[in-house]
Amino acid sequence: MYRSLPQPRYNLSPEGFGMAPQPPSFDRPPGAIEQEPSNWPSVSMVTGEVRLRLSDGTLDGPLPFEWTRLYCTRFVDTASDLGFGWSHSLCHHLQRDDDGLLWIDSENRQTRFVWPGAQRPAITCAQVNATIYLGDTDGELIIAQAGKHCRFFHFQDLKLSAISDAYGNRLNIDWHLGRLQRIDNGAGRALLLRYQQGLLCAVDYQHYDDNHESGDARGQPRADRWSTLHTLVTYRYNDSGQLTGASNALQETEQYRYDAWHVIQERQLAGGAVSFWTWQHAGKHSRCIHHTTNFGQMHVDYQWDDRGAVTVRHQDGSQHTWVHDANARLVSHTGPGGAEHHYSHDEEGRLIAEKDPAGTLTRYRYNEAGQLSAVIPALDEPTFYSYLNGHLHKVQRGLACWIYEHNARADITRQIDPDGNVTTWSYTCMGQISARVLPDGGYHRLTWNRLGQLLDETLPDATQQRYSYDLRGRKTTAQDQYGAITRYQWDALGRLSQMILPGGKTRAWSYNAYGKVVAQRDERGQITRYEYADNLPMLSSRINPDGSQLNYRYDNCLLLLTSIENERNEHYLLDYHPGGLVRQEVGFDGTKTGYSYDLNGRLLEQIEYPDADYPDQQPLITLYQRDSAGRLLLKTLPDASTIACTYDNLSRLTRVTDGKWPLVYEYDLQDRLITEHQGPAILRYQYDVLGQLSACHLPDGNQLVYHYQKGAGLCAIDLNGERLSEHQFEAGREISRQQGNLHSQYRYDQQGRLQEHAITSRSPDHGFGARPLYSRHYQYDASGNLRLLGDSRHGQQSYSYDPQGRLIAVRGKAEECFEHDPAGNLLRQSASGRGRSSPTNVKGNRLLIQGDCHFVYDAYGNLIQERRGAGQRLVRHYRYDCQHRLTAITLPEGSEIQYLYDALGRRIAKQVDDRSTRFVWLGECLLSESSSQKDLPASTCYRSYLYEPGTCKPLALLQGEGPGGSIFHYQLDPFGTPLELTDPCAIIVWSACYRAYGNVHTFDIADISNPLRFQGQYYDDESGLHYHRHRYYNPSTGRYLSPDPLKLAAGLNSYRYEPVLRQDWRCNTPRRGINNRSACNTGTAPDHQHQDADSVRATAPPPLPHESCRARYWP
């Protein structure tokens, strides 16, 4: 499940570093050969044969080898070492065929070659991209098969003797008594094949012990030096020689049953799921007509005709029709609802055109060598590809051009981007990336051992990471740049079973036969359990450490999530269109939303139905109008207002307007935003050679310049030519910062968490000395939650949590206690915890009553009325537009606050009595505000907020419009919450102490005002609410006023706020680049096919690598 090789800190591959759009894979271009739907991978849509492709283990090394086996009903009359119908990844054969050679590969595909000789030493078969040629020794023939990873198959006297790659890495294959015996990677690891009664019965993973060999003997392996570390797989057969079972290292067994002609009838997975097939015809001519399972939801029928078509019908009545030509090339596919895709090919079988259900035509062109030379979309500029010596050399799209150079082994060694910036790569003799030189001169070096395992990497800032491994190639330790060591333990199948963190705390996992996590133990010893029902690898229950439980159902023929039952026994329901797109979702609160799509699966209509308490309320209908390429052109809102989008010839969004506040964008050659218009405000951006933001010109004339050290670490920011701040980073962690005369030093614990923040003053009065001002110390519990805060200014505070990790108590200057229901709703917060429990009522995660406060919601879950006080006489009203954006608040005394938004949903204005405030944004972060009021000059009503690059962590406040305004520096807690503002002389001008959920407990100093609170939140003093990009947060209740617009994708409780994280600076909305043009909701439908990542999926171990570093670095 998890591979042993670590991944570098950065993606070093050419693809991961600003590569141009790449041509489609040459291995299997769309439509070039038969296409099979991903939902039914085992049945060929051409022949009806069943194919089972299974992996039983891997031999690691510089040339990794995966031991796979393939069953195919077309070859049931052929017996191999695995019985009838089966082959494995070493089943490559050469045999004489008339005057030539017949190559039968590991999947039983046959290719004929003319026998190479002195006159024609190399013979190429273009159909399979393979060439056969004479080897260096007598009787040796080599077949080179092109593809993403070129492989060379060596045959000695027509028997497979080795597999190699372009770098000469080699897998040697030994034979004994006419049978394959061992595959040896040349680095002391091998797979041993064991037989019984002529059939393969086991595959062992072996290690070669050369410790006692002399130097002269090395390189000549002796059989007695090989020792078996473990058995990867064992195989069982019946009396007919049919493979009936395969067991892994834990003896988890997959079983098979066949008919008398060796055609598979039944497959039972180790976890208990069983598939059954019914066949038309017999033997190798069998084709599947019926596929069922033992869990009921999956029931598939196949109807064949004699014209190359097959119709696949599901239990819900939906169907797909696939049509192939006589050469097994896909001609058309008709999906549910009649959506038709058509494909055209040239005489060589290459895809030259495809037409989608909307009629949009995309064309493909090829050069004389058969390489893709152009992709021509229906609306956009074409992309052109040119080659040099068979390798991609240039990519041209519009005015942008990328140039590539390759070494003799086809690896990219040099890239020149459209701005002329050069990146180079170098490789070891075994083909691993050894170094990357960045355009700014930064140098990234990697060291590997002879097994192709990454031993250490030196980052551009000269820090190092180191790794070690066990004999089975699994990572056992990882040492970070600071020397902290994390240790790993694995089960027999190579799945991470325990991780020992720096400091000694552990996390542990256990798995079922599907490789799914069934139990997870955290650092505190709390255990979360996961259950899987109906013999499926689909999560059915998550049992939390406190005993509360979440349940899931998949009553759908595609096994899509259909129901979630939360800890309060409330249900979230999902219904789907036949093709698997969400048709309707009903939230825990009963709110229902419906979706309609075009034939390409793109959202056309969204209908929000009022809940049952508002029977007279009309549904809210939003319509999406698109062009033939699927781009959103017009969004028509329920109130008939519209949002229009415009694009350039590269499909880049250039204009979004709601008719009131236009947003206009301009881009450079590399599609980076360089100019942004927000109404009358203009922002301009520049980038350095690494593509990092290097300069920003603000609407009021202020200019920011960003400086970086080699390899991308921020080192300084200038404001109008003067130094605003200096930063020192080490291995990605900021260790010091200079802001005016104030100097901050940061120290971290072994797990990279902030442990100490010390603030000193380096004023001219003290020369070069540093005068201590104050400091803060942080301690964390075993699960990583903040446990203790020691503040030299405010004293000490401690934090306590329940088994779910929810905050339940704060002790210190601002003491508080909290109660939560099982679904995470905050029921009560009190100053001491000794008060009476106040009445609370929650339904569907909507807070209805809390103490003397009563809450009323509209038909869509937005809070519209809040009543409190004696007899609930103090009433506050909230109004929303048709997009659920808060537009007005009526306060108890009768005054009204009004809000306006742009087409992306960002607040651009608010009106409070006679005071009007306008806002300008830097992507998702508030950039500036300007207030107009009769008794204040305009220059004193303007302020700007500057942030740490790529975050909404505030860095500085500029008071006044344009250059020359006052500068104040933010001091933050670890979560990005402002604690102080200091002037350039390090004097504190604003300081606050907070309660846990965001209310200010005390202002120690308030010489100026500061509305920024939790990261990404803006405090409205007129309402006491925090504006948080897409909605408003009430720190008094610890909840949002309205549900998250992302619905289930944002989590199971869409009103909840988690104060101990405070990382939700975007309010759960994606952000891309500097400006999030996607935030205008271009009509992306909810994707619940893959379930809710935070709740439905059992928590897996940390993201350790799934593949070798080479694959990680390389496309």
Q: Which two tokens stand for residue 1041?
A: 């006023």
| DSSP per residue, 815-876 | -EEEEE-TT--EEEEESSS-SPPPPEEEETTEEEEETTEEEEE-TTS-EEEEEESGGG-EEE
Query: Which residues sit opposite 266 in a β-bridge?
Result: 257, 276
Fill in the amino acid letter for 948: E
Contact 139, 101 (CB under 8 A): no
Q: End-to-end alpha-carbon separation of the chain, Å?
A: 21
Nearest 5°: CA angle at 1075, between 1074 and 1076?
125
pLDDT for residue 836: 52
Contact partners, residue 569, CB within 8 Å, separation at least 6: none
Over the chain (1115 residues), what is each successive 10-residue block's mean pLDDT? 34 41 36 34 87 95 95 95 96 89 92 90 87 92 88 95 96 95 95 97 94 56 88 97 97 97 96 95 96 89 92 92 94 94 94 96 95 95 95 96 95 96 96 95 95 94 93 94 95 96 95 96 95 90 95 92 95 94 95 96 97 91 96 98 97 96 97 97 97 97 96 91 95 93 95 95 62 94 93 95 93 92 91 60 93 94 94 94 98 96 97 94 96 67 94 96 95 95 96 95 95 96 96 96 93 88 44 33 41 33 30 27
**761 pairs with which residues across the strands?**
742, 771
Nearest to 701 by CA among 717, 718, 686, 681: 681
Dist. CA 902–CA 134, nearest whole Å:
69
> In whole angstroms, what is the distance from residue 319 CA to residue 301 CA?
9
How many whole angstroms separate alpha carbon 744 and alpha carbon 46? Answer: 67
Dig out the tokens for 1075 from the structure.
């400006």
Contacts of 316 (CB under 8 A, 6+ apart): 556, 557, 578
Exposed, middle or buried, 13 (CB in 10 Å: 0-12/13-18/19+)? buried
d(CA 71, CA 821): 52
Q: CA dihedral defined by 589, 591, 592, 598, rounded to 10 degrees?
A: -120
Look at residues 718, 750, 743, 741 and name the one whose alpha carbon lies nearest to residue 728.
Answer: 743
The one-letter amino acid code at 799 reads Y
CA distance linking residue 931 with residue 909, whole number of Å: 10
Query: What is the DSSP-derived secondary structure letter of residue 1012?
Result: B
C-beta atoms surrounding 665 within 10 Å:
18
Closest residue by Cα to residue 292 from 309, 278, 311, 304 = 278
Task: Give the model's pLDDT for residue 40.
Answer: 38
Classify residue 976 by its DSSP letter: S
Strand partners, 926: 921
How far apart, in Å, are the Cα atoms of 825 and each of 840, 842, 1080?
A: 10, 8, 29
CA 840, 842, 843 angle in degrees (round to 5)?
155
Cα gap 151→427, rounded to integer Å? 18
Q: What is the dihedral of CA 718, 719, 725, 726, to 10 degrees?
A: 0
Buried b (16+ CB within 10 A) or exposed e, 468-490: ebeebbbbeebbbbeebebbbeb
Residue 1066: the pLDDT is 46
Beta strands in 177-225 (DSSP E): 179-184, 189-196, 199-208
Cα of 363 vs its chain's centroid, Å: 30
What DSSP line would sit under 3-24, residue for residue? -S----SS--SSTTTTPPPPPP
Rounded CA-CA distance 969/1076 in Å is 27
**Which residues share a beta bridge with 863?**
857
369: Cβ–Cβ under 8 A, 6 or more apart, which residues? 387, 390
Which tokens hold the place of 641?
């207002």
Say which residue the tokens 């619940």 belong to. Answer: 1088
Cα-based distances in Å from 546 to 324, 567, 766, 822: 56, 11, 56, 9
> What residues contact residue 452 under an 8 Å CB cut-off, 6+ apart?
5, 60, 61, 62, 63, 64, 187, 430, 432, 1108, 1109, 1110
At position 544, the amino acid (one-letter code) is N
Q: Coil, helix or strand for 448?
A: strand
From CA 143, how far away is CA 125, in angstroms rounded?
10
DSSP calls for 996-1045: TTS-EEEEEEESS---B-STT-EEETTTTEEEETTEEEETTTTEESS--T
Residue 939: helix, strand or coil by DSSP?
helix
Tell me, rounded to whole angstroms, the distance of Cα 202 from its chain centroid.
37
Predicted TM-score (pTM) of the model is 0.88
Closest to 165 measured CA to CA, from 414, 399, 430: 430
Measured CA to CA, the distance from residue 689 to residue 421 in angstroms comes to 6
